[in-house]
Structure 1
Amino acid sequence: MVLTYLILTGSLEAIAIVLALSPGNFSIPFPASRAQDSEIKSGVFRSLSPPNPAPDTASTGLAEGIYLYGQSSKPDEIKKEYFVFEIRQSRVVGAFYLPRSAFYCFYGTSEQTQLNLTVVDSYDGSRSPYSVNLQQYYPISTLSDNDRRILGMCKAAHKQQVWEK
């Protein structure tokens, strides 16, 4: 939206500044049109069971901590779904996202290899139940600054539903 405004107003200096200040692995959730929103949503949620099953790496459950999982074993691949989350006392808060796109916060519980979640729509605030089988995703050991930023926003937005129960 900001970049569109700058392009329309013709401020080349401002465009250059915005582009220079945006690192390659930093995604900003710009408001999307409803058509783009449904495309992002269907991309993120269309295959909570990826076609290529990942190895069984979560068979014993997860300890408390912060995790990143994805459809790919490599972080930040375009058109691949990822989710970053924190677990404390079997409670979970985090976000689903596609790189360089919008993200959707979630909260819920963790049971062995299953996350039972409530996903919050970023645009209208509606909530939907989802279950995620961690065995169908790849764990990724390195979190980017952007992963931590997104997780921080979701933790702040939903701490009452998760930690203060």
Structure 2
Amino acid sequence: MVLTYLILTGSLEAIAIALALSPGNFSIAFPARGTQHSDIKSGVLGSQSPPNPAPDTVSTGLAEGIYLYGQSSKPEELKKEYFVFEMRQSKVVGAFYLPRSAFYCFYGTSDRTQLNLTVVDSYDGSRSPYSVNLQQYYPISSISDNDRRILGICKEAHKQQVWGNQQQ
């Protein structure tokens, strides 16, 4: 229903995020429009098969710390979606990205294997709610300097929404 609304309202960036964060097989034709977000749109919209199921490593919840999950078990694979985030007191802040492309910050909460997020559009600042089932992605243990850089940008930009006046 949300995806139908997004298609009707024509927000390609929001559709790209919705498709990236939603399991399933989508085949949707989009009109061509500029190249401003072409890398992230082509990567996300070009992926028409759901992520491979990852091992059930998060069934008991996540401890506080920094995590990287991906559509591939290997980091930095082109045209694969990744999430880098920090978990603290069941609250999360992080980013969704495609390697060598734009990224979208998010913040929200975690309940066991699901992230309940607000995704922030990098270009216009609009916010959209999404849920991500981490069991559909692979946990990746090696977090790169670039992952930490992206995470740092999102933490700084959204620390007030995530942790309020608590110590960051």
TM bucket by the smaller chain? 0.7 to 0.9
Counterpart of 2:115, as a letter, is L
Q: What does 1:1-165 align with in structure 2 at a 5 Å threshold? A: 34-37=34-37, 40-41=40-41, 43-44=43-44, 50-164=50-164
The structural deviation recorded for 1:35 is 3.7
Cα distance in 2 between the residues matched to 1:102 and 1:39 = 8
1:14-67 superposed Cα distances (whole Å, 9 cap, x missing partner): xxxxxxxxxxxxxxxxxxx854426614744887x9342222111111001100
Q: Which residue of 1 aligns with 2:10?
A: none
Structure 2 alignment gaps of length 5 or more: 1-32
CA distance in 1, matches of 2:94, 2:104: 8
Identity rate, percent: 85
Query: In 2, distance between residues paired with 1:162 and 1:34?
Result: 33
Aligned length: 132
TM-score (norm. length: structure 1): 0.73
How far apart, in 2, do the equivalents of 1:79 and 1:46 lie? Answer: 8
Cα separation, 2, equivalents of 1:87 and 1:96: 15
Which region of structure 1 is more displaced relative to structure 2, 90-99 or 54-63? 54-63
Letter in 2 for 1:93: V
Query: 1:60 & 1:89 partners in 2: Cα distance?
Result: 15
Query: CA separation of 1:101/1:59 partners in 2, compared to 1, >3 Å: closer, same or farther?
Result: same
Call closer, same or farther: CA 1:46–1:127 in 2, change over 3 Å.
Answer: farther
SS at match of 1:152: helix
CA deviation after TM superposition for structure 1 residue 162, in Å: 0.3
Question: 3-state DSSP class of the match of 2:118?
Answer: strand
Q: Which residue of 2 aligns with 1:14?
A: none
Task: Provide the secondary structure at the position in 2 that maps to 1:131.
Answer: strand
Q: Please give the secondary structure, in 1, of the residue aligned with 2:37.
A: helix
RMSD: 2.1
Structure 2 Cα separation of the partners of residues 45 and 55 of structure 1: 25
Structure 1: give runs of 5+ residues left out of the alignment: 1-32
Structure 2 CA distance for partners of 1:79 and 1:157, relative to 1, 3 Å: same
